[in-house]
Amino acid sequence: MAVITPQTQKEYTAAPSRNYGGPLTVVTLLFFMWGFITCMNDILIPKLQEVFTLQLWQAMLIQTAFFGAYFIISLLYFIFSVTKGDPIQKIGYKNGIIIGLVVAAIGCALFYPAASLLSYGFFLMALFILASGITILQIAANPYVAILGPPEGAASRLNMTQALNSLGTTVAPIIGGYLIFEGVSAVQHSGADSVKLPYLGLAATLLAIAVLIKISKLPRIQNDEEQLAPDAGALKYRHLVLGIICIFMYVGGEVAIGSTLINFFRLPEIAGMNETQAGHYLAFYWGGAMVGRFFGAVALAQFRNNSYKYMIIGLIAAVAFGVLYAVYGLEEALVALGLIALNFAVLLLGRFIPSRTLGFFATTVLALLLMTAFAEGSVAMWSVIAIGLFNSIMFPTIFTLAIEGLGIHTSQGSSLLVMAIVGGAIIPPLQGLVADASGNLQLSFLVPMACYAYIVYYGFVGSKFKPATR
């Protein structure tokens, strides 16, 4: 998630006295939708694995096709910016967002012929096109949200929009799991046909949002400086280069864990759930990330009195407890409340300093992954669910640290960081290979452990800002 820091905000102007609540509300819809669509992959993996009789590593190619688009489209964007100048500066953020929505809608619509032809390769192609549109949205919308408003509130705004992104990932397993495994389309159609109606609905929704964006009066961000000349200046910053690797590791680790959870919860020694039950607890994993991002938005916000900050965080925890109690019951709600308390304790340990907090959060995830890999039953189940809560602030925090002080190279740095999301295409199949080769799904969680070990390094050491090398 791109953040324009106070050092870089001055190069972009959008009437500082203007209220951007309306435009931010419209753009926030994008974060919800791409969170929903991304998490739908976790439902597709077991579904298409069953339809096409795939090994786990083959089913994980769904994530390879999806996140591979992030790398290829971002690479093309970077090459264009180096040779011709920044495309977003040329066409504008609003047009970039609309293009991304239309391309994503086309990808969703292609699920219909893919299911009719019963072609796994066609599904992968549709996912690639869908993710290409999401990539364009990432490059255009993330910096746009950061610029809309005072620079000191950029991190808070972006954590809030990422919380809405997590809301999409939270409800997707429940809604998507019902529609694909149990809903009307699943009852009326066998095999891959059950994905037709859900993805046609997503295509229609994306096109409707594109129309809404088109007719909305979104402010045009002006650049006070001359347009960035074609060059690769962003790569001169060491903390950005290390941050690119960190985004690769984080997204790879997060997606690998999420992609494995339904199969993990189905293991007799863990919970012995069916697909629908597992989908509900997958929502628990992503819901933790949502709650944590709300915490992060409040923690990074500016308050005259810090007591207000703690009161709001307490209110968020109370609301989360109430929702979980109503949906899952008292036992699950109490366990979640304990995990939320642990999350807040680690936040305090990090003293709300981004790099320090990132390091401690990643260290906590390493401990949780150890329990996931070697414990059994409810201990292993709740350990892996808790990881979502500690993943919460990682993406926006890494992004913030990586583009600090980039100045007019911020948009180029953003495209490079989005390119690194390709980690989600590479790490999940690698974990699948380890699981298939060892015959032990739990031991495969050692793969994402390596990813989080690097995040610990970046948080405590690699994120320190250094001037660009000459």
Per-residue pLDDT band for 15 (boundaries 50, 70, 90) equals: very low
Residue showing tokens 């007719």: 215
Mean of the per-residue pLDDT values of the chain:
82
Tell me the two tokens of residue 330.
């008292």
Looking at the predicted structure, is the pLDDT value of residue 442 above 90?
yes
At the topology level, CATH places domain 6-462 in Growth Hormone; Chain: A; (1.20.1250)
Q: How many CB atoms lie within 10 A of CB 417?
A: 27
Q: Which of 45, 211, 173 is nearest to 120 (CA)?
A: 45
d(CA 110, CA 48): 16
Bigger pLDDT: 386 vs 169: 386
Q: Is 13 helix (H, G, I), strand (E, B) or coil?
A: strand
Q: What is the pLDDT of residues 117-168, one digit of tens each?
A: 999 999 999 999 999 999 888 888 776 776 666 655 555 666 677 777 777 8
Are the beta carbons of 417 and 75 closer than 8 angstroms? no
Per-residue pLDDT band for 2 (boundaries 50, 70, 90) equals: very low
d(CA 454, CA 281): 28
Bigger pLDDT: 33 vs 127: 127
* CA distance from start to end of the chain: 27
Most confident listed range (170-179, 212-221, 275-284, 443-452): 443-452
Looking at the predicted structure, is the pLDDT value of residue 8 above 60?
no
Looking at the predicted structure, is the pLDDT value of residue 352 above 80?
no
Q: What is the pLDDT of residues 281-324, one digit of tens each?
A: 888 888 888 888 887 777 766 666 778 778 888 898 899 899 88
Bigger pLDDT: 416 vs 450: 450
Phi, psi of 399, rounded to the nearest 5 degrees: -60, -45
Tell me the two tokens of residue 286.
């992503």
Delimit the domains of the chain by residue range.
6-462
Bigger pLDDT: 233 vs 366: 366
Q: What is the pLDDT of residues 357-408, one digit of tens each?
A: 999 999 999 999 999 999 999 999 999 999 999 998 898 889 878 887 777 7
Return the pLDDT at 281: 86
